[in-house]
């Protein structure tokens, strides 16, 4: 006998009656009503043909009345067919009614009650290789989308029963239990899981790490950290990897700034293949096509694509490099080093880059820009965060403050505040005041990305995307590398029908839109 994948926690009948029907349940009920209505209309039409066959004639309402009377098994009433065809039709309608009463209607209502009455408390012992997620937030929501795209099994732990029921109705795979209780992790097969993901605050993540390690499981655990100093504490509690997402966000935003050095900066790697980004401002490559630069012949590197005003374009021979371009490169460590040795002499100097917000993201952006030899200064509303000479106190929503800060001359401005609405407002204000400035903005919620682009941002870096991509890359361990949202580098075995052929002879780019960036021999 196969083991049931879930065990359920029953709810009281009164609570079931008081709960609102979910969208999925409402759709199921509407489908039943629509099917029943169509069937009644069909039988009412056939009733007219059978009656005419026996020489009788009735109005349409009588046909519906007779159909409902027979299907409800109340009897044949005052209309009785006497021919063989009429009796066969009567039996057919009667059996349909019996089927509805005894089978279909009970099954549908059972589904309605089950969807709200049962919340899993554990998963089958046979389940393995799954990811355990302890909190549903911006990062984990986007991570679940990636898991669905790649067929990765996962389970979401939820402490609130009502919330768990709603999440199940929305299509999430949920089990109910206390996150501080080690038994909850044992019930989620933590010993056979591929990864546990913690995305709460530092104190909460530390407590959950102790609960997980109390089970004796050596499962890899990846934890986010809001405070850089919390990293050592989380690792002491048992974290395999700690992600300071806001630091990573700041570094990513700094990489998008045009100007400064032209060096290639690491994005990620698959085995010995390194993916890096380099800005083109101030280099002799500006104004030339990829065919003309022939970077592969110079360094052995492959140009994967080009960032141009916030949009990623796959590399093509006729792609033109602009001063705002940032190229994504792929190659070995030696090839990256050769590129950096060739382009280290190019370093553009300009007015300071402006950074709005001196929080963790703002300071991380500034630190990375300084490593790129790019001068910058920060504008911060909270006077308590003004702790160095490079930070100026002021309200970025005031245009005069922005102009005094250098808005009209600055080449780039970086918005690092947590408030997406404020970033959208500032982007609109800045774009109106200086149409030519490069605007790089943070987005806390994934849905704000589109609005920020519409407001005029050249690059929008999503907090959720940075976190989810880093977790996904850690899970896959070198098989798949997400460079950015929608741009993935992955490794596959060479198909038999491509063996012995050159890359030029293949039609992979034409048929699938994919580019071969390296071969592991």
Q: Is there a single domain that holds both residue 265 and residue 363?
A: no
- Structure confidence at residue 19 as a pLDDT band (50, 70, 90): very low
Percent of all residues in the chain with a pLDDT value above 70, rounded to a whole number:
89
Same domain, 334 and 357: no
d(CA 275, CA 8): 46
Convert the pLDDT of each residue in 34-63 to its tens digit. Answer: 888 898 899 889 988 888 888 888 888 888
Pair (364, 482) in one structural domain: yes
Residues 6+ apart with CB under 8 A from 271: 478, 491, 520
Query: pLDDT tier at 21 (50, 70, 90 boundaries)?
Result: very low
- The 3 state secondary structure assigned to 477-504 is CCCEEEEECCEEEECCCCCHHHCCCCHH
Going by pLDDT thresholds of 50, 70 and 90, the confidence category of residue 9 is very low
Q: Are residues 52 and 87 in the same domain?
A: yes
Residue 69 lies in a domain: yes
The residue from 243, 271, 286 where one domain ends is 243
Helix 84-99 and helix 23-53, axial crossing angle in degrees, nearest 10: 170
Biggest distance spanned by C-alpha atoms of the chain: 102
Instruction: Flag whether pLDDT at 5 surpasses 80.
Output: no
Q: Say if residues 194 and 164 touch (Cβ distance below 8 Å).
A: no
CA angle 269-274-280, nearest 5°? Answer: 125
- Given pLDDT bands bounded at 50, 70 and 90, which one contains residue 516? confident
Single residue among 300, 316, 349 that ends a domain in this structure: 349
Of 240 and 104, the one with more pLDDT: 240
Domain region containing 230: 121-243
For residue range 416-428, what is the model confidence (pLDDT) as tens digits?
Answer: 999 999 999 999 9
- pTM over 0.85? The answer is no
* Strand runs labelled E in 76-138: 120-123, 131-133
The last residue of a domain, from among 61, 94, 117: 117
**Ranked by mean pLDDT, which of 4-13, 131-140, 248-257 comes out on top?**
131-140
Q: Do 125 and 235 reside in the same domain of the chain?
A: yes
| Concatenated DSSP letters of 383-395 | GGG--STTEEE--
Q: What single DSSP character describes residue 282?
A: T
Predicted confidence at residue 479, as pLDDT, reads 64
In a domain? residue 4: no
Show the tokens assigned to 422: 């404020």
> Cα-Cα-Cα-Cα dihedral of 144, 149, 153, 159, to 10°?
20
User: How does pLDDT run across 381-400, given as a tens digit for each residue?
Assistant: 988 778 788 899 999 999 99
Same domain, 185 and 238: yes
Q: How many domains does the chain have?
A: 4
pLDDT digits over 467-500, tens only?
A: 998 899 889 876 667 666 567 777 777 777 777 7
Beta strands in 101-176 (DSSP E): 120-123, 131-133, 154-158, 174-176
Q: Check which CATH number belongs to the domain holding 23 and give it.
A: 1.10.287.70
> Cα–Cα distance between 230 and 220 in angstroms, integer?
18
Q: Please choose, from the candidates 383, 382, 390, the residue with its C-alpha nearest in 3D space to the C-alpha of residue 363.
A: 390
Residue carrying structure tokens 């965060």: 385
- The pLDDT score that the predictor gives to residue 12 is 43
């Amino acid at each position: 006998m196969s083991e049931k994948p879930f065990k359920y926690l029953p709810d009281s009948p009164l609570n079931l009656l008081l709960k609102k029907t979910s969208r999925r349940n409402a759709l199921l009920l509407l489908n039943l009503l629509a099917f029943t209505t169509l069937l009644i209309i069909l039988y009412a039409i056939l009733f007219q043909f059978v009656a005419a066959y026996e020489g009788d004639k009735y109005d349409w309402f009588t046909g519906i009345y007779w159909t409902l009377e027979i299907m409800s098994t109340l009897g044949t009433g005052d209309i009785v067919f006497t021919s063989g065809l009429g009796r066969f039709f009567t039996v057919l309608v009667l059996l349909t009614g019996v089927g509805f009463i005894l089978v279909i209607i009970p099954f549908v209502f059972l589904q309605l009650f089950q969807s709200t009455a049962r919340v899993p408390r554990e998963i089958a012992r046979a389940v393995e290789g799954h990811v355990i997620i302890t909190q549903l937030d911006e990062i984990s929501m986007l991570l679940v989308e990636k898991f669905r795209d790649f067929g990765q099994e996962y389970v979401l732990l939820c402490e609130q029963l009502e919330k768990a029921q709603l999440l199940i109705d929305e299509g999430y795979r949920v089990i109910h239990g206390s996150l501080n209780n080690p038994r909850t992790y044992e019930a989620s097969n933590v010993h056979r899981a591929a990864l546990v993901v913690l995305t709460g605050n530092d104190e909460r993540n530390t407590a959950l790490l102790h609960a997980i390690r109390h089970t004796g499981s050596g499962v890899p655990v990846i934890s986010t950290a809001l405070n850089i100093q919390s990293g050592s504490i989380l690792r002491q509690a048992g974290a395999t990897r700690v992600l300071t997402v806001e630091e990573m966000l700041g570094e990513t935003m700094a990489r998008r700034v045009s100007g400064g050095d032209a060096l290639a900066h690491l994005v990620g790697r698959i085995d010995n293949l390194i993916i890096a980004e380099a800005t083109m401002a101030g280099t002799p490559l500006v104004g030339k096509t990829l065919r003309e630069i022939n970077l592969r012949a110079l360094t052995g590197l492959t140009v994967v694509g080009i960032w141009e005003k916030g949009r990623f374009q796959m590399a093509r021979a006729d792609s033109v490099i602009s001063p705002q371009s940032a190229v994504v490169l792929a190659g070995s460590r030696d090839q990256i080093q050769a590129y950096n040795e060739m382009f280290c002499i190019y370093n553009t100097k300009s007015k300071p880059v402006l950074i709005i917000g001196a929080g963790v993201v703002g300071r991380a952006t500034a630190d990375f820009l300084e490593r790129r030899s790019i001068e910058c200064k920060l504008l911060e509303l909270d006077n308590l965060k003004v702790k160095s000479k490079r930070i100026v106190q002021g309200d970025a929503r005031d245009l005069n403050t922005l102009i005094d800060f250098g808005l009209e001359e600055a080449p780039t401005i970086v918005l690092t505040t947590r408030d997406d609405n404020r970033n959208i407002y500032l982007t609109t204000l800045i774009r109106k005041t200086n149409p030519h400035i490069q605007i790089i903005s943070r987005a806390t919620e994934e849905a704000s990305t589109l609005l920020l682009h519409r407001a005029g941002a050249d690059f929008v870096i999503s907090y959720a995307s940075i976190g989810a991509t880093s977790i996904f890359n850690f899970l896959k361990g070198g098989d798949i590398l997400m460079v950015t949202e929608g741009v993935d580098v992955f490794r596959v075995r060479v198909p038999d029908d491509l063996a012995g052929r050159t890359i030029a002879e293949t039609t992979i780019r034409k048929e699938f839109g994919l580019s071969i960036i390296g071969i592991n021999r």
